[in-house]
A = this chain, B = another copy of it.
């Protein structure tokens, strides 16, 4: 199915592009709602999934959070999830550092390992500062 332009989708993408955090559908919704007061939450979900399917954005599902997060940055990179405020933060890191993980895991496994999901947990700087 060819993708037809829509102002709503453009606004959703533009919002995502403007953020360096990883908004949830709900957050995208409440922001785009300012420009399109009667946009539907379903429209947001549909477009986010469509954009993710097309490889324009990335959809991240972290097990510890029950909610999906969306990312304009599709280049492979790792994330950190704060167990205090639930923020999802980019973790700058040489990707090659972990490139050996898959082959390492393959050693003791007789299926086909195609990749891995990895993210880090802890307390972000913001929350650390607030505690002191």
Contact = CB atoms under 8 A, between A and B. Distances in A.
Interface in A37-90: 60-64, 78, 80, 82-83, 89
A26 interface: no
Q: How many copies of this kind of chain does the complex include?
A: 2
Interface residues of A, number: 40
A124 B125 CA distance: 40
Nearest to A109: B91
A27 interface: no
B124 A120 contact: no
Interface of A: 60-64, 78, 80, 82-83, 89, 91-93, 97-98, 101-102, 104-105, 107-125, 127-128
10 contacts: A78-B105, A80-B109, A101-B118, A102-B120, A111-B128, A112-B123, A114-B121, A114-B122, A116-B120, A117-B117
Given A80-B111, A112-B122, 11 more contacts: A78-B105, A80-B105, A91-B109, A93-B105, A101-B118, A111-B123, A111-B124, A111-B128, A113-B120, A116-B120, A117-B121
